[in-house]
Homo-oligomer: A and B are copies of this chain.
């Protein structure tokens, strides 16, 4: 399920140009998938070459033609086939958690800033989902509800977890561990404790 396939899927719900498609991605998928123009435009060109979508250019004034893509019968078949055979991955790549793993090596200020920024991102995500939820009607498909709820649930626990556990990272060294070290400056002591193992 690369960007190309997902574009095809989005077009299942109705024709669109590349620009609109990107907005759909941002609105509906932003909390679990991202796609930039650099992936979307080539993907649409590919799909058109493969006959999975058709393209019609609508002239505009003062800007490039709008190229409106519409899925074909072959495109529908293709998308359904992928949907039924590909094993969907769920991949998290978190530099944030990797950074937190090394919290003991960090300046407390920096650590606090990183935690704060992540919290901010999570709250943004929660707000975004709330916003799109307010536009829903009875027609809103179950799939859309499910993924939004999933995203909201994840963002909430992540934020809660950070808020309730951050003190473990920022707390002063416990006596037991400090006495095992040999430096009086807590910040350097932490670095040394780990550095000396190497």
Given contacts A12-B194, A92-B31, A198-B14, contact A153 B146 (CB under 8 A): no
Question: Is A96 positioned at the interface, with any CB of B under 8 Å from its CB?
Answer: yes
Question: Contact mask A78-102 → B, CB, 8 Å, 1/0?
Answer: 0110011011111111111111111
Contacts of A88 in B (CB 8 A): 94-96, 98-99, 114, 118
Instruction: Flag if A33 contacts B99 (CB, 8 Å).
Output: no
> Which size class do A's interface residues fall under?
35 or more
Instruction: Flag if A96 contacts B90 (CB, 8 Å).
Output: yes
Given contacts A76-B195, A83-B105, contact A150 B9 (CB under 8 A): no
A88 CB to closest chain B CB (Å) equals 4
Question: Is A154 positioned at the interface, with any CB of B under 8 Å from its CB?
Answer: yes
Question: Contact mask A133-154 → B, CB, 8 Å, 1/0?
Answer: 0000011011111110111011
Given contacts A101-B28, A158-B150, contact A90 B169 (CB under 8 A): no
Given contacts A101-B143, A143-B102, contact A198 B121 (CB under 8 A): no
A138 CB to closest chain B CB (Å) equals 7
Contacts of A11 in B (CB 8 A): 198
In the complex, residue of chain B having the shortest beta-carbon distance to the beta carbon of A171: B142
Question: Is A70 positioned at the interface, with any CB of B under 8 Å from its CB?
Answer: yes
Instruction: Flag if B103 contacts A142 (CB, 8 Å).
Output: yes
Question: Is A182 positioned at the interface, with any CB of B under 8 Å from its CB?
Answer: no
